[in-house]
Homo-oligomer: A and B are copies of this chain.
């Protein structure tokens, strides 16, 4: 066992290799701060906090486009709606026009850009109950399945921004979905890494990590029957958490109801612990799943990545793609595990 080797606090930093992509991250053990020091500064209550002028509280009155999905509660009031983003990054069109300029290639930015809105203006996902979070996952999946076979859709990105520092321009809790014609470099890196790992070991790299983490426990934040939430060994950011299905599952869209409930619980537990530990920080989470480009990705393993926003990317990160995380994932996980 090599366990004690990660305990040397006197080292300035460690370079840790991401087991999937092979990329390196820096864990700055020497200039590490205490977990408490990462807490967000108190946030002023913003004027719109009671939803008066909120475009997502009354979507039908504020010029949003027609719902593509609506869930209702037992009283018949809406509890969740999905509609096209009013300011989309991609245009709906069937075929992207490709063009060249000198040595360069480009194509029209076509695709689908939707917003997934839960009703309560204040209740962020960290404060929902697991069932409510599972309902959001239901909506993600339903929209995913509707869009995945459309022409020119090769990848569907589902993500959630919370807080201004994480890029949320509207306070009302909402997620976004972008169905696009290209597979992103990060997903490509993970697919290639998973494939390479499989070829050399005959194992799924995510299953290998799951097993190690569940046995070892020191980076585990929460687990249930179906999912494990842990701070990854090569964390990109302080307090990063991955929520990963325990069984080998390449495709998010094939998650069944039981798994969705378990995933809802693991995601809610993770977000809630981050909320308490860091005092309502800004964060992003997103789903990484196999592309829907018609190919098989049997050795990939879908999961959710949560990135709390506690630092600013500076020249080194922007130049290298190597992120400097200022707390050891083991210490972050212990703090999240024990918070209440």
Binding site for B on A (CB under 8 A): 2-3, 5-6, 11-17, 19, 21, 23-24, 26-31, 87-91, 96, 99-109, 157, 159-161, 164-168, 176, 178, 180-182, 184-187, 189, 208-209, 212, 216, 233-234, 284-286, 288, 305, 307, 312-322, 324
Contacts and interface: CB of A to CB of B under 8 A. Distances in A.
B320 A12 contact: no
A318 B307 contact: yes
26 contacts: A2-B99, A2-B100, A6-B101, A12-B89, A12-B109, A15-B109, A16-B105, A17-B104, A24-B182, A26-B90, A89-B324, A103-B208, A103-B212, A106-B234, A157-B319, A157-B320, A159-B318, A160-B315, A178-B316, A185-B321, A186-B321, A187-B320, A284-B314, A285-B315, A286-B316, A307-B318
A107 B159 CA distance: 33
B314 A104 contact: no
Contact of A161 (B106, B166, B315): B315
A159 B90 contact: no
A28 B31 CA distance: 39
B102 A13 contact: no
A316 B182 CA distance: 13
A106 B3 contact: no
Contacts of A105: 16-17, 19
A314 B168 contact: yes
A185 B23 contact: yes
When A and B form their complex, which 9 residue pairs have the shortest distance between CB atoms, in order from nearest? Answer: A167-B314, A13-B109, A159-B315, A184-B320, A286-B319, A284-B315, A12-B91, A102-B212, A185-B321
A78 to B, nearest CB: 24
B19 A91 contact: no
B315 A11 contact: no
Contacts of A318: 159, 284, 286, 307
A89 B99 CA distance: 44
A285 B185 CA distance: 22
Given A104-B234, A185-B23, A286-B319, A91 B157 contact: no
Contacts of A181: 15
A166 B314 contact: yes
B233 A104 contact: yes
Contacts of A313: 167, 313
Nearest to A104: B233
A319 B288 contact: yes
A1 to B, nearest CB: 9
A90 B166 contact: no
B315 A233 contact: no
A199 B166 CA distance: 41
Given A101-B3, A212-B103, A233-B101, A157 B109 contact: no
A104 B319 contact: no
Contacts of A23: 185
Contacts of A186: 319-321
